Structure 1
Amino acid sequence: MNKPYPAPVAPLPASDRDGPPPSAGTAAGPAPAGATAASPAPLPPHRLPVAAVVAALGSDAAHGLRQPEAERRLAAHGQNRLKSAPETPWWRRLAEQFQDFLVIILLVATVISGVEWLLQEPRESALPYEAIVIMAIVLLNALLGFVQEARAERSVRALMALAAPESTVVRDGERQRIPAHDIVPGDVLLVEAGDRIPADARVIEDANLRTDEAALTGESVPVVKDAAAIDHEVGLGDRRNMLYAGTTATYGRGRAVVVATGMGTEVGKIAELIEGAEKQATPLQKELDRTGKRLSIIMLVICGIVFATGLLKNPVTDLDAVLGLFLFAVALAVAAIPEALPAIVTVGLSLGVRRMAQSNAIVRKLPAVETLGAATVICSDKTGTLTRNEMTVRTVLTAGTVVDVSGSGYVPEGEFTIAGATLSGRPALEEAVVRTLRAAALVNDATLTMRDGRWRVQGDPTEGALVVAARKAGLTEATLATFPRIAEIPFTSERKRHATLHADPARPGILTLCVKGAPEVLLPRCREMFDGIDLVPLDDAGRAAVTAQNDALAAQALRTLAVATRTLRAETLGLDPTTVLAAAGGDIELPEDIEDDLVLLGLVGMIDPPRAEAKEAVATAKRAHIRTVMITGDHPATAEAIARELAIVEPGTRVVTGAALRRTSDAELDRIVDDVRVFARVDPDHKLRIVEALQRRGHIVAMTGDGINDAPALKTANIGVAMGITGTDVSKEAADMVLTDDNFASIVKAIEEGRGIFDNIRKYLVYLLSSNAGELLTMFAGVMFAGLLGLASANHGLFLPLLAAQLLWINLITDGPPALALGIDPKDADVMNRKPRARGAGVIGTADWVRIGAVGLVMMVGTLAVLDAYYPGGMITLFATEAAPNPADEAYARTMAFTTLMMFQLFNVFNARSGHRSAFVGLFANPWLIAAVAFSLAAQILVVYAPFMQAAFHTVGLGLGDWGVATAVGATLLVVMEIVKAGVRLRGVAEA
């Protein structure tokens, strides 16, 4: 059970702190446990100063908890999780396997059969074999269903663990990403726009931090947060210095110390009132449930006809005969009705989803697997998805000169050159480069560290590239630290710029504003330009010249950022020049016009090279008739250059900008959207319009996203794909699938896996339904046309082609191991050479139903032919030994029919693997299938030869020749279907 931070606040005991407890009477609260009842009531965290709350938790606002202490608290407090609904006991889940109506009838009939055996005088057998066998098979079926459901639940729980959200904390003085459920009281959270708040926390510091608390308080407007203590008691919605679990940061960033986790949070208190939610079936399961019910009605009608016909035709109508016929009819219904479809599909889906997780695609919602196979368009971001997301500064345009920067990736090694020559002897240009990169590194939240022998960037890759370039220019972290940050205006996708205000200790009272952002946004705000020596006016002609240079850089697939600055006195912001350094990290509201009248320092051009695997993935998607559309905020020239390199842009296709999109009506967008391959310089809300336009054109759309504003498009898309590395918690929550590597190739791989999963489900269904059809048609025709076939019982009663126990045995053995092995069949080699499955198309198509019917007819004809040939008095009687039937001959013929039908179904496993490919292609690609067939065959041999099984199933031993006949007749199914498949392949070639 999670233990919340004490409310009201009291210092933690010395054993639960990193440092010594504060003395009694400090701001942290009253004396520790053991104080007298007269002690004043301690205050809740929102009413205490930051230092008091941090001290009470035994934490450190700057360095966070030590890792060993965090682990100890996790063991003491429990994981940061809400209490889930109690798990259904295993015995109840096992009991649920016997709730099916037909199973209940079968159990009742079995009990009646046992009672009837007890009343027999004299008894026909030493034990009620039929009742025992049927009961045993029912129990085995129930156990199989129980194991399948337990396996599915374990898989789903494992997937939930894989998809667990992460949060950023400070531990041991370093930023770390950890699973949200490992957060403990005292952890210091780092919160940015788009993050899901994982626990209740007291704000330590903020930079224009706002949170959406609508889910908790109903407040529709984002709440502005600050670190100041509240000197009076207020309601939940007015606690501006508190962050609550389950809410979302919508703007700015901040730091907070965790005060409650799990059920101790405010949302945990609400969760106490909730007992649990019902599991929702996927659309696929619902469709299969509907299909199963329709088939059940049809098959029950057929079973009813068989039962009625049996009563009318049976000359013996005693209780034993009626009960035997009733058992047969119920067993036929149990064998024929696919009551396990939804459970088997859940197992198939969960196994497939786990394979997808191994391919870096975590499916959060099972229906996405079904939809993946139908995707026709992938709308992908560029940065980090189609490219490596390792931005590298290549050029610095400053003082009218393009300076090249060498080096690659995040290694801070490289030179600054012009046409291959160093900047030595050009001090003005060197100064311009240093000023530009210093400002770019100051207006920056990324950090460069060496970890495990590799340079890594913590933060945005673009900002990381600027830090690396600054380090190449000799601007170390210590150098930049001499310009402490006083305040900032964070970057947002709407503003497209980021501004920070810094103090200069060398010039008391003078503040420097550093701004970086899109050139088209910053250029209109610049009034002057630094030429390396002095400031010169920047008029419209100058802006046009810079814009032309920017376009030239973008045409080289470089992403450009403008860097500008402004110097102002502290008094203009109402700050005391003598204390301005003390305001570092504080909460200063900057005026809107502070970003005007800027001085342009230069442009920085960087490149994020395409992923090597992305080009191959785009080609694979194209072969699969899936269109790739790039949607990016980058410059159109940059986007088009990358898109051409990846072969996304083709002859006759278009590139559309966000500006053009704003002028385009929905009707016009619908008309052109099929011809567009690149949308560049788009706003986040444009993604939603693009998705809706593609959907109106009949496409199934997969859309990638990582920001807060991407959430509507991710929800609207048929498959929302969030970035696992760069994505915000909001985007992950809205998505159906999360990529753990942010790689476009993983999307295509997921679609391939999705198609394979769907194919395996279809294989299983075709196999199951065709095998059941063979059983049903054989029994129906055998009873209805027994007289025509010359099949009369040796006991002068109704002749049954197979007995109830034999039917149930076939159903158990064929619906078990072979069917489950089909669920892990390897993907077809041509799975990505086919068109996507039509939206709304059933799992079983018209061609599949024809296959099912054809297989059922072949099984019926072959099984009845063998039965007739081995039974005296039949039409064929090739193998009959007597002219008149006797019980031994009847058992012999029925054993042959029993074995032949089993062999038919074992051959049908291989036939069901594809509707067009030969069963001999990749015959041994699935060793589990070979093992499952071998197991079923061994089980049939045991039934035929083991004496106790012979008594239970009324079988007799067969000779080697008999097995040859059963195998040869069963193999005719494979021969017939191979001819049909050859015709399908020839027709496909002709149509192509």
Structure 2
Amino acid sequence: MVRIPSGQIGSGDGADAADRETGREIERLPPGAVAAALGVDAVSGLSRDEARARAGLWGPNALRVRPPVLAWRRLLAQFADPLVLLLVAAAAISAGLWLREAVADGSAGPPFEALAILAIVVLNAAMGFIQEARAERAVAALRRMSAARARVVRDGIRREIPATELVPGDVIRIEEGDAIPADARLIEASALRAGEATLTGESVPVAKDAALLAGEASLGSRRNMVFSGTAIVSGRGVGIVTATGMRTELGRIAGMLEETPEETTPLQAALARLGRRLGLAVLVIAAALAATIVLVEEICTLPALLDTLIVAVALAVAAVPEGLPAIVTAALSLGVLRMARRHAIVRRLAAVETLGSADVIASDKTGTLTRNAMTVRVVVTASGRCLLDGALNGQDHDIRLSGEAEAALLAGALANDAALQEHEDHPIIHGDPTEGALLIAARTTGLDAALGRFVRLDEIPFSSERRRMSAVCREAGRDGLLVALKGAPDVVLARCTRERVGDQERPLTPERREAIVAANAGLAGSGLRMLGVAHRRMPEGSRIAPEDGVEQDLVFLGLIGMRDPPRSEAREAVARARAAGIRSVMITGDHPNTAAAVAAELGIAADGAVLTGDRIDALAPEELDEAVRRVSVFARVAPAHKLRIVRGLQRNGLVVAMTGDGVNDAPALKAAEIGIAMGVTGTDVSREAADIVLSDDNFATIVAAVEEGRAIFSNIRKVLRYLLSSNLGEVMVMALGIVLAPVLGLAPSPGEVVLPLLATQILWINFVTDGAPALALAVDPADPAAMAQAPRPRGEGVLTGAMGWSIAFVGLVTASCSLFVLDSCLPGGLVEGTGSPAYARTMTFTTLVLCQLFNVLNARSGEVSARDGLFRNRWLWAAIGVSLLLQAAVVYTPILQQGFMTVSLSLGDWLFCAGVASIVLILEELRKAVVRTWRAAAAAA
């Protein structure tokens, strides 16, 4: 209920008093009492001095705007991620390593590794800044919705002023086409109807009047109030402003947007956890390796200790997948491009993945699941029902109607103030959507010619008290007048004494009246909005006025049922979502019967269970949590209810995708893990608050986006599986190589550091294998079975236990293969060799690179064989080719040989390295086969 703040009366009250309430609910006061309570004369309005004083007390009639976040702060925020900070530290360490080498011998080239890491960090920050760093524009969009001008009465003079100058107590005049500039209590109304879909979700314009309200009333039921940001569809009225700026219903939503924090997406949380764990692992690895070298090699001199520290730090840097942030960003960005081609515009990169993990799609009905266009579905006459389902889109011009149905539609089109304007392939309705639906139905069924024979002479307009409208017309070539009437079925029926049956008129018997009432109740219960239509022939020159009985002794023509129809593709989309383990929930401001009918038709809920806003208000949080687990249809809800529903779903451990198009959806869009707004019919507010905007307003696009999101997350896991297993292999090569140095034939002199690989070689491996191959994995084609799987559990991280075991297995095999080659190339050890340390390191170096290139084929799936779709990703093979060329360059190019201490290898050497490295692929294929067999056996049991 709207309450009158005591500080609004007069200008002498302070700002503190302005926030106190008198307890008087303005909807329950008569117009005179409203004016007295607000300290204004309803005829002359406020004086200029009083208006100026109240403006100083209450401030401008505008929504509060947050100061924009400075660009440099938004850019700096991109470096707050733990993994990004770790990479900055890695770049500094790598630069220190290069600086020492440069000072020591002056032969070091440019610091390629440090520059590469810094480039990755900068690229990641730049892309995040462009895609994600946006100011809080939702409140600014709400502000733009406010009316620019307002017609006000001050000092007894009507004048037009900027809407920002309105104050509580101002008397405003409104008429058809106006945007309401502030919340106001009506004191006069004539055939006034307001479109409040963007505020309440109610698809049908609401009739307004100045009458008192009895009992509690929800936002959509306050018929004697008009609200800022809504529009007048028809009629005119006078109101007294009760609230301006942030105190309006629109302002309350703006406040809710400000108070609703941005949700951390599952991917963001998972990568943050991974960054922290990797940071800790790096420190442990560096310390352990340094201690191992010192103990095993008996290091005691300062130069040797310094070499040991540098090697340990270099290996720690190599253990971090520094390409991960950029590759994840690239994977998401490429997904954004693919989704844009499927009509889903992503405003925040992480939203792509989050949508793929959604458990629930909580959708607004009007304009999202339905077409947001009232459509005639059925005409009921004395001879039966005529279904117009084939004409829902206005394309079927061959609907054959009985004479009764034609007469009913003709009367509905004549008693009508709407107009149609042709626009490309569809008409645009100007006026009331319900009346527009009657005109489209008449046109669709071929009644244009019949309508053209009539000229309107007069009308008796609709009002909320009368609940009907009459039009008086003259028909060309026929004497007399025709009165066409439409309105609430019970009102129309009460004024009829006959009904049309075929081409005749017959008396309305009590039995027929009961049958008509029953038919109306049944159709209304199925969610249709029902109208009754009737007509009457009158002699030329008859007086046209309600008191003259012009709306009596009518001929009942029939009932017309209409509804905002579901989108044709929405049912299939709901079914696809269900197959993917995603529950669809409808949240609407419409009538419960309408919501239940649409939900049943779409397959969202067949049990008819509906939870209304009033019932939600009566539920405790734990009761609401239980209710949202069972109920999938919510009707007559306000913005605060939508937030409570989303929060209740989230407390049940569900990842929520919230869709909508109106102002009333914005807080819930922002609160949900993923907000999806309609781009065509949506408001600026909903688009600014959302993470994804649908350019075609198609519910089916959401399901397509889910599929894309799942594919992207799957590819991110492939990249992680590959990078972590490869980097683990490098760490194990170094650690085991040092511990087992005497066994492998590495015989260091006392106090000397002898390593299986040099620090520069380790960094080169990361440069060669962590770049192009990992990026190619990020664009791997989607698994066709992705939409047959359940959503990923909310608490499940990017890495699972099964992935961890797979990563450890591949890392151990990689290290074993590499150390075997090292041993076989050196004299002594387990396998006798004859090569020099430089040759052995080059062979080990090359084997490790090839192991990782074989591993990239493994990483495409944790269970499916690498043979499946082996050549489907052409970019992967191109990346493998580039990596081989780079490795060949470091082996054969003299300047690189000098920098990386390598020697040339023969073809036989390459074949030997490749043969040993292929063991990584062979053993992983065997492991996958065992896993598949085990899972199949478990499923059969």
> How do residues 811-830 of structure 1 correspond to structure 2 at under 5 angstroms?
811-830=766-785
Match of 1:140 in 2: 116
The answer as to 2:680 corresponding to 1:725 is yes
> How do residues 171-186 of structure 1 correspond to structure 2 at under 5 angstroms?
none
Name the CA distance, whole Å, in 2 between partners of 1:837 and 1:431: 57
Name the CA distance, whole Å, in 2 between partners of 1:773 and 1:906: 14
> How do residues 70-89 of structure 1 correspond to structure 2 at under 5 angstroms?
85-86=70-71
Asked if 1 retains the 8 angstrom alpha-carbon contact of 2:523 and 2:530, the reply is no
- Amino acid corresponding to residue 530 of structure 2 in structure 1: L
Per-residue deviation, 1:815: 1.8
Pick from 523, 548, 555: which aligns with 2:518?
Answer: 548
Name the CA distance, whole Å, in 1 between partners of 2:824 and 2:385: 93
Per-residue deviation, 1:900: 0.9
Q: Deviations over 1:499-520 (max 9, x none)?
A: 89899899xxxxx99886xx6x
Asked if 2 retains the 8 angstrom alpha-carbon contact of 1:196 and 1:249, the reply is no
Match of 1:251 in 2: 230
- Amino acid corresponding to residue 303 of structure 1 in structure 2: A
3-state SS of 1:132 partner: coil
Match of 2:194 in 1: none
> How do residues 176-215 of structure 1 correspond to structure 2 at under 5 angstroms?
197=144, 201-203=148-150
Match of 2:924 in 1: 977
The answer as to 2:504 corresponding to 1:528 is no
Match of 1:115 in 2: 103
Pick from 765, 788, 794: which aligns with 1:839?
Answer: 794
Pick from 669, 683, 704: which aligns with 1:749?
Answer: 704
Asked if 1 retains the 8 angstrom alpha-carbon contact of 2:499 and 2:508, the reply is no
Pick from 613, 621, 637: which aligns with 2:577?
Answer: 621
Distance 1:290 1:558, change over 3 A: closer
Q: Deviations over 1:806-832 (max 9, x none)?
A: 111111122211112222222112111
- Amino acid corresponding to residue 520 of structure 2 in structure 1: N
Name the CA distance, whole Å, in 1 between partners of 2:129 and 2:333: 9
Distance 1:363 1:462, change over 3 A: farther
Asked if 2 retains the 8 angstrom alpha-carbon contact of 1:315 and 1:798, the reply is no
Name the CA distance, whole Å, in 2 between partners of 1:93 and 1:659: 42
Per-residue deviation, 1:564: 7.2
3-state SS of 2:422 partner: strand
Using the aligned pairs only, state the percent identity.
43
Per-residue deviation, 1:841: 1.5
Match of 1:860 in 2: 815
> How do residues 276-287 of structure 1 correspond to structure 2 at under 5 angstroms?
284-287=267-270
- Amino acid corresponding to residue 105 of structure 2 in structure 1: W
Name the CA distance, whole Å, in 2 between partners of 1:747 and 1:408: 27
Asked if 2 retains the 8 angstrom alpha-carbon contact of 1:357 and 1:363, the reply is yes
Name the CA distance, whole Å, in 1 between partners of 2:268 and 2:612: 44
Asked if 1 retains the 8 angstrom alpha-carbon contact of 2:91 and 2:117, the reply is no
Name the CA distance, whole Å, in 1 between partners of 2:281 and 2:121: 24
Size of the aligned set, in residue pairs, is 772
Pick from 827, 840, 853: which aligns with 1:872?
Answer: 827
- Amino acid corresponding to residue 467 of structure 1 in structure 2: L
Asked if 1 retains the 8 angstrom alpha-carbon contact of 2:462 and 2:468, the reply is yes
- Amino acid corresponding to residue 627 of structure 1 in structure 2: R
Deviates more, 1:298-307 or 1:540-549: 540-549
Distance 1:236 1:374, change over 3 A: closer
Match of 2:317 in 1: 334
Match of 1:806 in 2: 761
The answer as to 2:530 corresponding to 1:561 is yes
Name the CA distance, whole Å, in 1 between partners of 2:290 and 2:902: 23
- Amino acid corresponding to residue 907 of structure 2 in structure 1: L
Q: Deviations over 1:101-160 (max 9, x none)?
A: 332233233223222215xxxxxxxxx1xx326x12222332344344444545558xx8
Name the CA distance, whole Å, in 2 between partners of 1:755 and 1:156: 21
Match of 1:929 in 2: 876
Asked if 2 retains the 8 angstrom alpha-carbon contact of 1:103 and 1:138, the reply is yes
Name the CA distance, whole Å, in 1 between partners of 2:334 and 2:625: 39
Q: Over aligned residues, Cα RMSD in angstroms?
A: 5.5
Asked if 1 retains the 8 angstrom alpha-carbon contact of 2:370 and 2:564, the reply is yes
Pick from 280, 302, 310: which aligns with 1:297?
Answer: 280
Match of 1:953 in 2: 900
Distance 1:450 1:369, change over 3 A: closer
Match of 1:307 in 2: 290
Pick from 549, 561, 584: which aligns with 1:605?
Answer: 561
Q: Deviations over 1:545-582 (max 9, x none)?
A: 44421355579x78343257999xxxxxxxxx99x9xx
TM-score by length of 1: 0.65
Asked if 1 retains the 8 angstrom alpha-carbon contact of 2:369 and 2:570, the reply is yes
Name the CA distance, whole Å, in 2 between partners of 1:671 and 1:659: 15
Distance 1:909 1:155, change over 3 A: farther
Name the CA distance, whole Å, in 2 between partners of 1:867 and 1:646: 65
Per-residue deviation, 1:344: 4.0
The answer as to 2:331 corresponding to 1:348 is yes
Name the CA distance, whole Å, in 2 between partners of 1:815 and 1:216: 57
Name the CA distance, whole Å, in 2 between partners of 1:457 and 1:541: 39
Distance 1:738 1:222, change over 3 A: farther
Asked if 1 retains the 8 angstrom alpha-carbon contact of 2:459 and 2:472, the reply is no
The answer as to 2:94 corresponding to 1:106 is yes
Per-residue deviation, 1:376: 2.5
Match of 1:36 in 2: none
Name the CA distance, whole Å, in 2 between partners of 1:224 and 1:399: 49
Match of 2:834 in 1: 881
Match of 1:447 in 2: 420
Name the CA distance, whole Å, in 2 between partners of 1:252 and 1:968: 75
Distance 1:85 1:486, change over 3 A: farther
Asked if 1 retains the 8 angstrom alpha-carbon contact of 2:319 and 2:727, the reply is yes
- Amino acid corresponding to residue 441 of structure 2 in structure 1: A
3-state SS of 1:906 partner: helix
- Amino acid corresponding to residue 300 of structure 1 in structure 2: L
Per-residue deviation, 1:83: 8.5
Name the CA distance, whole Å, in 1 between partners of 2:713 and 2:296: 45
TM-score by length of 2: 0.68
Name the CA distance, whole Å, in 2 between partners of 1:616 and 1:764: 33
Name the CA distance, whole Å, in 1 between partners of 2:337 and 2:379: 46
Match of 2:938 in 1: 991
Q: Which runs of 5+ in 2 are unaligned?
A: 1-46, 49-65, 154-162, 176-180, 187-197, 200-226, 235-244, 247-260, 475-482, 537-542, 546-550
3-state SS of 2:696 partner: coil
Distance 1:546 1:280, change over 3 A: closer
The answer as to 2:745 corresponding to 1:790 is yes
Asked if 1 retains the 8 angstrom alpha-carbon contact of 2:744 and 2:822, the reply is no
Match of 1:962 in 2: 909
Asked if 1 retains the 8 angstrom alpha-carbon contact of 2:411 and 2:485, the reply is no
Asked if 2 retains the 8 angstrom alpha-carbon contact of 1:706 and 1:728, the reply is yes
3-state SS of 1:434 partner: helix
Per-residue deviation, 1:629: 4.3
Asked if 2 retains the 8 angstrom alpha-carbon contact of 1:388 and 1:608, the reply is yes
3-state SS of 1:603 partner: strand
Q: Deviations over 1:371-427 (max 9, x none)?
A: 323323334455654566676534333678655669624548747855xxx42xx7x
The answer as to 2:447 corresponding to 1:469 is no
Name the CA distance, whole Å, in 1 between partners of 2:345 and 2:781: 20
Asked if 1 retains the 8 angstrom alpha-carbon contact of 2:676 and 2:692, the reply is yes
Name the CA distance, whole Å, in 2 between partners of 1:646 and 1:291: 41
Asked if 2 retains the 8 angstrom alpha-carbon contact of 1:302 and 1:780, the reply is no
Match of 1:909 in 2: 856
Match of 1:369 in 2: 352
Per-residue deviation, 1:674: 5.0
Q: Which runs of 5+ in 1 are unaligned?
A: 1-45, 48-80, 119-127, 167-179, 182-194, 207-214, 229-234, 241-245, 256-265, 268-277, 490-494, 507-511, 568-576, 581-594, 883-888
Distance 1:525 1:252, change over 3 A: farther
Per-residue deviation, 1:676: 5.0
The answer as to 2:634 corresponding to 1:655 is no
Name the CA distance, whole Å, in 2 between partners of 1:966 and 1:809: 18
Q: Deviations over 1:961-986 (max 9, x none)?
A: 21112112222111111112112222
Match of 1:174 in 2: none
Name the CA distance, whole Å, in 1 between partners of 2:342 and 2:466: 36
3-state SS of 2:659 partner: strand
Per-residue deviation, 1:483: 7.8
